[in-house]
Amino acid sequence: MGIRGVRFVSDEAGTRTAVLIDLRRHRQIWEDIYDTMVAESRKDEPRIPWEDVKRKLRNRQGRRG
């Protein structure tokens, strides 16, 4: 028994090493997994204070007209 649209890939010893996900069936789950992976990969990047971001956005809008 398993979950439809999900297949595990195993090595010679039977240890699960990867998973195949049917994106037509499980696109939302994949997007959540991917977002989590991206956030994890960026956790040590320097932060930009929210006030600096707002100021840059306001300046950009002012130049557009």
Tens-place pLDDT, residues 4-61: 999 999 999 999 999 999 999 999 999 999 999 999 999 999 999 999 999 999 998 8
pLDDT at 23: 95
pLDDT at 56: 93
Structural domain span for residue 41? 6-64
Contact 11, 17 (CB under 8 A): yes
pTM of the model: 0.57
User: 10: which residues sit within 8 A by CB, 6+ positions away?
Assistant: 16, 17
Quote the CA–CA distance of 30 and 20 in Å, as a whole number.
Answer: 10
pLDDT at 1: 66
Q: How many domains does the chain have?
A: 1
Bridge partners of residue 7, in order along the sequence = 20
23 part of a folded domain: yes
27 part of a folded domain: yes
